[in-house]
Chains A and B, each alone.
Chain A
């Protein structure tokens, strides 16, 4: 062995380099808290409610669906939060998107697919408006999107009552069946597996012999797909690096050529589009749009993102974490019905969990960034 390669070898064994265990590396990941929290929640309900049917196929699908609905918007909210901004108008956007689908389809006779596309274009517009206002004025997104929260909710209510005289628009269910794209938001996936499991007697059946849980709801597929996509964006693309940079230090990022404004605007469009996906799933599933749909969802999305390890100050967080944050939320909100605990306590739990998460995140941030 030559002396040169020896010296390189010596160098790679720097005496100042402590051996960092895999566990330590994992401890520094933002999603750790939410992952650990999810495991704790499952252990808890496994012990308390293990024999109540909560974890039967039907019960599992139930709490997964609740988690998925929130997860769809939480993942987009997490990306925006890493980019350094909030979107408080997500909940109102859900209601607005709902009537953007229902009114054209029911009252104007548009085909359902066209109403769905219309809702998505409105979402892009709203997201763009939020983004351009925040970027151009330099005002905190908290205030700008709070204004949008009221504007959208008010407009939803006013327009719906003006056109229909009511606050709900029913009658969509019949349109879903032969629409070319509505199935993307409403079909159950992998039905054959559930039918097969049912025929083996492994999962509960209805009286007519069909399984109680008919398949994996579309929302769950959306939730998983969006989490994978968002994680890929964050970790593997230039755009992901720009999201972290825009949220971490927008002046610094701009100085080295990151298009901070464009990144932020696109993230606002992302949250509005996610809200519309949520609305599609809900409206097509329920067969009706309601002006109050999505009420307070913006705050739940922020809770999920924060529990998932996002810093309120931006520049740090993860999409997987937000997905687990939503899982904790959905599991507890459904699981509590299987216990003897009064469901009123759910919100207390939510608040306490968020507090713990914020304190924990703060600690992690210090670990990651503080000088040796």
Chain B
């Protein structure tokens, strides 16, 4: 048995005649942060949706902890411990921190028709969990709308971990955040991985990915350009491999040409 938490072998996904993904392979170990990089339209969202059970792959296999698996729904993936935190975070800003934390999975007390939402226990757990990340929820009954973007991201991740995630799929967790907020979230992701989770971090920001990732998979036009270990990869090389790298080189040449013509 391999020590891979989850394996995606030769995954392909077609939408009609469009090849959205072709032969993508990724292996994630415990404690590993795998960064999935790619330009817009590279197939990142399709891959995430395939990993999280929204789409079924047309080819290839998904192996969770050594067992071949087919996800019929996002619920299936969730039950196997694969939790996805989407960009919209699935948080309701009008509801309190606690009510969001336990949304859909509220702890109850009592029995039968008198079963009630155990709000005190829920408040205590939510405060404690957020405290562990270093976010002092001053009042767990405050609305999520009053929290900063980074705090919300951490809340969504913390919720996924609390409810038994083994593999966390994070969709652009830092894209809408400022420098400080982003570093808070990245720190939290590293901590989560250190506690034994596997993390798939989707981003197009190399500067956020490089410091935290252990390995990097680059997607381009639906195909994987390979998975690279951090020790064999410099930041510059990674930047260059992103679809943008080549393009930017070309752009530079073209700009020089324009400059030359203008001078003549």
Contact B117–A244 (Cβ < 8 Å)? no
* A residues 233-253 touching B (CB-CB < 8 Å): 235-238, 240-242, 244-245, 248-249, 251-253
Interface string of B135-171 (1 = CB under 8 A from A): 0101100010111100000000001000000000000
In the assembled complex, the CB of A22 is this many whole angstroms from the nearest CB of chain B, namely 13
A11 within 8 A of B: yes
Residue in B closest to A28 when the chains form the complex, CB atoms: B143
- Assess the B90–A241 pair: CB atoms within 8 A: no
> Within the assembled complex, what's the spacing in Å between the Cα atoms of A256 and B83?
10
The reply to whether B94 and A251 contact each other, CB–CB distance below 8 Å, is: no
Given A252-B91, A253-B90, A316-B94: A238 touches B138 (CB 8 Å cut-off) = no
What residues of chain B lie closer than 8 Å to A238, measured between beta carbons?
Answer: 106, 108, 115, 117
Considering the chains assembled together, what is the distance between the CA atoms of A45 and B181 in angstroms? Answer: 55
- Interfacial residues, chain B to chain A (CB-CB below 8 A): 74-75, 78, 86, 88-95, 99, 102-106, 108, 115-117, 119, 136, 138-139, 143, 145-148, 159
A5 within 8 A of B: no
Q: Can you spell out 21 A-B residue pairs with CB atoms less than 8 angstroms apart?
A: A11-B136, A16-B136, A20-B139, A235-B119, A236-B117, A236-B119, A237-B116, A238-B106, A238-B117, A241-B103, A241-B117, A245-B95, A253-B92, A255-B86, A315-B94, A315-B95, A365-B94, A368-B143, A371-B146, A371-B148, A372-B146
CA A255 – CA B90 in complex, angstroms? 7
Evaluate contact between B145 and A369: CB separation under 8 angstroms. Answer: yes
Chain A 354-372 interface mask (CB, 8 Å, partner B; 1/0): 0000000000010011111
Contact pick for B136, options A14, A235, A255, A256, CB 8 Å? A14
> Which residues of chain B come closer than 8 Å to A256, judged between CB atoms?
90, 103-105, 159
Known: A249-B92, A255-B74, A256-B90. A244 touches B105 (CB 8 A): no
In the bound complex, residues from chain A placing their C-beta under 8 Å from that of B159 are: 256
Using C-beta atoms within 8 Å of the partner chain, give the interface range for chain A. 20 to 34
> For residue A16, which residue of chain B has the nearest CB?
B138
In the bound complex, what is the Cα–Cα distance between A123 and B203 (angstroms)?
51
Interface centre among B74, B75, B92, B117 (most CB of A within 10 A): B92
**Which chain B residues lie closer than 8 Å to A109 at the CB level?**
none
Write out the residue numbers on chain B whose beta carbons fall within 8 Å of the beta carbon of A17: 138
Task: Report the bound CA distance from A239 to B91 in whole Å.
Answer: 17
Q: A244-B92, A245-B92 are in contact. Are A253 and B146 (CB under 8 A)?
A: no
A219: shortest Cβ distance to chain B, in Å?
Answer: 25
A252 and B88: CB pair below 8 A? yes
Q: Does A138 contact B (CB under 8 A)?
A: no
Q: Counting CB contacts under 8 A, is A257 at the interface?
A: yes
Q: Give the docked Cα–Cα distance between A238 and B75 (Å).
A: 19
From residue B135, how far is it (CB to closest CB) to chain A in Å?
A: 12
> Which A residues fall within an 8 A CB radius of B?
11, 14, 16-17, 20, 235-238, 240-242, 244-245, 248-249, 251-253, 255-258, 311, 315-316, 365, 368-372
Q: Within 8 Å CB of A235, what residues of B?
A: 119
Q: Which residues of A contact B138 (CB under 8 A)?
A: 14, 16-17
Interface pair B117/A253, CB less than 8 Å apart: no
Residue among B90, B99, B119, B146 making CB contact with A368, cutoff 8 Å: B146
Q: Which of B93, B104, B146 contacts A248 (CB 8 A)?
A: B93
Q: Bound complex: CA of A316 vs CA of B116, how far in Å?
A: 20
Say yes or no: A370-B146 contact (C-beta < 8 A), given A11-B136, A251-B88, A255-B86.
Answer: yes
CA distance A256 to B139 in the complex (A): 23
**Interface pair A257/B88, CB less than 8 Å apart:** no
**Residues of the A chain whose Cβ atoms lie less than 8 Å from the Cβ of B105:** 256-257
- For the complex of A and B, 4 pairs with smallest distance between CB atoms: A369-B145, A248-B92, A252-B90, A257-B104
Chain A residues with CB under 8 A of B75: 257
B103: chain A residues at CB < 8 Å are 241, 245, 252-253, 256, 258
Known: A241-B103, A244-B94, A256-B159. 20 other contacts (CB 8 A): A11-B136, A14-B136, A236-B117, A237-B115, A238-B106, A240-B117, A244-B95, A244-B99, A248-B92, A248-B94, A248-B95, A251-B90, A252-B89, A252-B92, A255-B90, A256-B104, A257-B104, A311-B94, A315-B92, A371-B146
A48 to chain B, nearest CB (A): 38
B250 to chain A, nearest CB (A): 40
The reply to whether A245 and B104 contact each other, CB–CB distance below 8 Å, is: yes
B117 contacts A237, CB within 8 Å?
yes
Question: Is the Cβ of B148 less than 8 Å from the Cβ of A369?
Answer: no
Of A238, A240, A258, most buried by chain B (CB within 10 Å of CB) is: A238
Contacts of B88 in A (CB 8 A): 251-252
Chain B residue at minimal CB-CB distance from A252: B90
C-alpha gap A248/B159 in the complex (Å): 18
A236 / chain B contacts, CB cutoff of 8 Å: 116-117, 119
Closest to A18 in B: B138
* Bound CA span A11–B135, Å: 12
User: Contact: A368 with B145, CB < 8 Å?
Assistant: yes
* Cross-chain contact B104 with A253 (CB below 8 angstroms): yes
Q: In the complex, A240 Cα to B95 Cα: how many Å? A: 12
> Are A369 and B116 neighbours in the complex by a CB distance under 8 Å?
no
Q: How far is the CB of B84 from chain A (nearest CB, A)?
A: 9
- Closest Cβ neighbor of A315 among chain B residues: B94
